[in-house]
Copies of this chain bind each other. A is one copy, B any other.
Amino acid sequence: MSVQERKQRERAERERLIVATARELAEQQGWDAVTTRRLAERIEYSQPVLYSHFRGKREIIGAVALQGATEMAAAVRAATRTTDDPRTRVTALAHSYLDFAARNPAVYDALFQLDGGLAFAQEETPEPLKDAFAALLETLGEAAGDGVDPGLFTEVFWAALHGQATLTRARRLPPQDTERRVQLLVDRLVAL
């Protein structure tokens, strides 16, 4: 049995290597540079090996997205744990979210821009994605105000952050006013 186990371990290890390498390459040179050939070369295996782990490039993107969702949830929770005041917590959440998006653009794209073949906002949505939304909900739900569905409020706030994150990175918004934009957003959206 131990031989099979070793093989399984090695296989799992190689899969981690593929995902980590894809992510690294994407962060360094963008997702366009993540071709199956380059990826195969970097992990020092031939191209078809990738297809024994993933159905295709799309699934590799999806794997990076799941990894990113877990990290983002952790980042948001860590940032909001430092205080009890709802407004301060929301501000911290907003900053940590935009910070994550800015620091991990490729991962952020895998999560919310690219097609990773993942289901969102559904029953069959993978756990890490659900949990990332839950992390937002934990803090934003408190700020919804009376008579407003916490889930709906979270969606609105999240979308507002997402818009700022993507438009800033796509150079559609000037980057220097981020702080003021976040402040305005929090001031207005958080229930008094």
A residues with CB within 8 A of B: 112-113, 119-121, 148-149, 152-153, 155-156, 158-164, 166-167, 170-174, 177, 180-181, 184-185, 188-189, 191
With contact pairs A163-B161, A163-B162 given, residues A184 and B171 touching in the complex (Cβ less than 8 Å):
no
Copies of the polypeptide in the assembly: 2
Q: Which residues of B contact A155 (CB under 8 A)?
A: 173, 177, 181
Residues of B within 8 A of A185 (CB): 156, 160
A191: chain B residues at CB < 8 Å are 188
Cα(A189)–Cα(B187), bound, Å: 9
A91 CB to closest chain B CB (Å) equals 14
Q: Which residues in B have their C-beta under 8 angstroms from that of A180?
A: 149, 152
- The answer to whether B160 touches A159, judged by C-beta atoms less than 8 angstroms apart, is yes
Contact present for A153 and B184 (CB under 8 Å): yes
- A88 CA to B69 CA, complexed, in Å: 38
Closest 10 CB pairs of A and B: A163-B163, A159-B163, A160-B160, A162-B163, A159-B164, A120-B172, A188-B189, A156-B181, A121-B174, A156-B184
CA A160 to CA B153, docked complex, whole Å:
12
With contact pairs A112-B167, A113-B113, A167-B159 given, residues A152 and B184 touching in the complex (Cβ less than 8 Å):
yes
Whole-angstrom CA separation of A158 from B167 in the bound complex: 10
A160 to B113, CA, bound (A): 16
Taken together as a complex, chains A and B put the C-alpha atoms of A184 and B155 apart, in Å, by 11
